[in-house]
Amino acid sequence: MEAGVGVATAYPGTPSSEIIGTLERYAHELGVYVEWSVNEKVAFETAWAAAISGVRALTAMKHVGLNVASDALMSSAYTGVSEGFVIVSADDPSMWSSQNEQDNRLYGLISYIPVFEPENPWEAKELTKKLFDISSETRHPVILRTTTRVSHARGPVRVGELRKIRVKGSFKPEPRYVLVPSNARVNRIDLLKRWSNIKNVVENLEFNKIYGDGKVVIISPSTSFSYVYETIYKSDLINKVKLIKLSSVYPLPENFILNNISDAEKIIVIEELEPFVEMQLRDLLNRNNIKISLLSKPYEYRAFELSIGRVREILEKILGASLIKEVSISRIEDKPRIPPRPPVFCAGCPYRPLFFELKRILAKERIKAVISGDIGCYSLAYYDPFNMQHTIVEMGGSIGLGNGFSTVLEDTVTISIIGDSTFFHAGIPALINSVYNRHPQIIIVLDNMTTAMTGHQPSPSKPKEERYIRIEKLAESVGVRYVATIDPFDTEEFRKSFLEALKVVREEREVALIVARRKCALVAYWDMLRDSVEIIPYTIDHSKCVGCGICYNLFACPAIYADKNRKAIIDPELCIGCGSCVVSCPFNAIKPIKPVDQEILKKYWF
């Protein structure tokens, strides 16, 4: 807001989602256009178009999101921009919430887009503001790369003047926006010229800083710097080593570094993940024929986050234990132990009865199936007691891999399972492929009308000003042979549809798609609380319960547990009155504590 951003777009993904989520709250008041786009590529393109039309723009995504947007990223360096364009890549070392821990600084290298890293919340704000200016001045996009520790940290910031926000721009047609080969070649030369300008700009970046002095120089990018600083400070080494903190990691501020290493005996680079700064530094020393020894962190430290403890280990290994005094770190072991809890579907989650029934159908009908799963809350079905996904690779990968499985696996039914947001994000092209190239698979779209896993951002199936997109209509329009819509709580209906779909896949060798639609339980619950609707919990009739354990072991709602005689008990504090567990009991022992008005429930759950 202080930089005057006019258009901000994103597709959610931890640890990036809070950026647009926060801006969204003030968007209306400030007149900023904020959008949750359908995927990262679309988010990128929307913001990029604004920036080439003279409107300051920001797009934010998690690290793997930049893979989805990477085609656009590459071209954006060729077109350049006419106003500031900041691309936020929120990386996730240690994979707290991700399928890999790729180091997106490397994207700078391949795309010729400069990469900057903030150290803490204060710097994240100030640096972002600065990057808008750098991008405007150099007419080039920039990447702000954060990591989970920075993204999820809280710290004081000083709020500055808000800049006037411009949301409307103008587009001046120029050949550089038309990347046919003849123009792209001109752009390539122009890109290299802009790059040499960017190299000059980073030399004077005030966020690159020097601390302490000594013949040992430690160079560390901002996202790792805090660990290094604290380790050195606590080891009383602050006056024996010189620390160079880098916020501009690509390109490096070469002269700034050269000036500060002139009397160094040793240089150590400490950075999380890949030796990205180190590689560039080796090249810098080589080119300048400088013979200072450059020491790397041991190979195994490429994986996972750094910490004060790990930085100390690295320094001990490189410098010898004697130099490093015992650093006092509060260890996890000192903290109170929290009982381990397996990851489970929430009470009331519509996915539970669906996976429960699917498991029953596959067992009863003796169906050999490969279950091609996807990324979302439903990924939890991989765990006990459901064990219902054989692959989970990347968003949209369910139907995508399903195309291949159904081609090469004999006597095996391919079942692809995907959520609504993931379907819109990357499932549609894979669906079209499976229809056009005839890959018979049963696709189950779990439509809870939200992007639940990342914090309930909108999905196109959630009504927005009465506008929404119906997955079944889309499937019909591309020629899916069998389309059905069911309520996942209605296990009978699901079983019927599934068996019909199975026939289509087996006998007609065509694609079948089932939309299982019911609101995310948390959304329904919050709406009921907001409207002060009474939640009527369920209970167990112990005269009927035989202690078979199906409800707490196989249906596995966290609100149900066993007493010492193995009989089930429902915790009224955790039960949200959904009633989905009723179908799990062969003895009809589960019932509400008083009559439930189904009409009221319908209003909140659909």
Could you list the residues that contact ligand TPP (CB under 6 A)? 11-13, 62, 64-65, 68, 375-378, 395, 419-422, 448, 450-454, 459
Instruction: Considering the complex, state which of residue 129 and residue 517 has its C-beta at the smaller distance from ligand TPP.
Output: 517
**Max intra-chain CA distance, the chain:** 86
Instruction: Considering the complex, state which of residue 65 and residue 558 has its C-beta at the smaller distance from ligand TPP.
Output: 65
Nearest to 488 by CA among 364, 355, 346, 376: 355
Q: Name residue 266's beta-bridge partners.
A: 216, 293
Question: What DSSP state is assigned to residue 506?
Answer: I
Instruction: Considering the complex, state which of residue 78 and residue 424 has its C-beta at the smaller distance from ligand TPP.
Output: 424
Instruction: Considering the complex, state which of residue 78 and residue 605 has its C-beta at the smaller distance from ligand TPP.
Output: 605
Instruction: Considering the complex, state which of residue 285 and residue 418 has its C-beta at the smaller distance from ligand TPP.
Output: 418
Return the structure tokens found at 506.
């087996």
Instruction: Considering the complex, state which of residue 342 and residue 455 has its C-beta at the smaller distance from ligand TPP.
Output: 455
Instruction: List C-alpha distances in Å: 134 to 11, 130, 142, 247.
Output: 25, 6, 8, 14
Q: Find the residue with minimal CB distance to ligand TPP.
A: 419
Instruction: Considering the complex, state which of residue 187 and residue 422 has its C-beta at the smaller distance from ligand TPP.
Output: 422
CB of 452 to ligand TPP, least distance (A): 3
The CA distance from 320 to 317, in Å, is 6
CB of 360 to ligand TPP, least distance (A): 21
Nearest to 277 by CA among 303, 255, 250, 301: 250
CB of 394 to ligand TPP, least distance (A): 7
Amino acid in position 566: R
Instruction: Considering the complex, state which of residue 523 and residue 550 has its C-beta at the smaller distance from ligand TPP.
Output: 523
Helix (H, G, I), strand (E, B) or coil at 545: coil
The CA distance from 481 to 502, in Å, is 12
CB of 64 to ligand TPP, least distance (A): 4
CB of 207 to ligand TPP, least distance (A): 28
Helix (H), strand (E) at residue 116: strand 115-116
Instruction: Considering the complex, state which of residue 449 and residue 545 has its C-beta at the smaller distance from ligand TPP.
Output: 449
The CA distance from 351 to 359, in Å, is 12
Contact status, residue 186 vs residue 176, Cβ threshold 8 Å: yes
Chain-centre distance for alpha carbon 348:
24
CB of 74 to ligand TPP, least distance (A): 17
Instruction: Considering the complex, state which of residue 231 and residue 451 has its C-beta at the smaller distance from ligand TPP.
Output: 451
Return the structure tokens found at 446.
């779990």
CB of 437 to ligand TPP, least distance (A): 24
Instruction: Considering the complex, state which of residue 354 and residue 590 has its C-beta at the smaller distance from ligand TPP.
Output: 354
Instruction: Considering the complex, state which of residue 184 and residue 344 has its C-beta at the smaller distance from ligand TPP.
Output: 344
CB of 446 to ligand TPP, least distance (A): 6
Phi, psi values for residue 87, rounded to 5°: -105, 115
Backbone conformation region of residue 589, classed left if phi is above 0, alpha if psi is from -120 to 50, else beta: alpha
CB of 580 to ligand TPP, least distance (A): 16
CB of 398 to ligand TPP, least distance (A): 10
Burial label for 119, CB within 10 Å (0-12, 13-18, 19+), is buried
DSSP one-letter string for 93-108? TT-SSSS----THHHH
CB of 576 to ligand TPP, least distance (A): 17
Nearest to 381 by CA among 420, 345, 431: 345
Contact status, residue 228 vs residue 270, Cβ threshold 8 Å: yes
The CA distance from 132 to 85, in Å, is 6
Q: Where are the beta strands (DSSP E) in 239-389?
A: 241-246, 248-250, 266-269, 293-295, 369-372
Task: For tokens 């639609």, name the residue.
Answer: 517
Report the residue count for the chain.
Answer: 606
CB of 62 to ligand TPP, least distance (A): 5
Task: For tokens 């429930």, name the residue.
Answer: 601
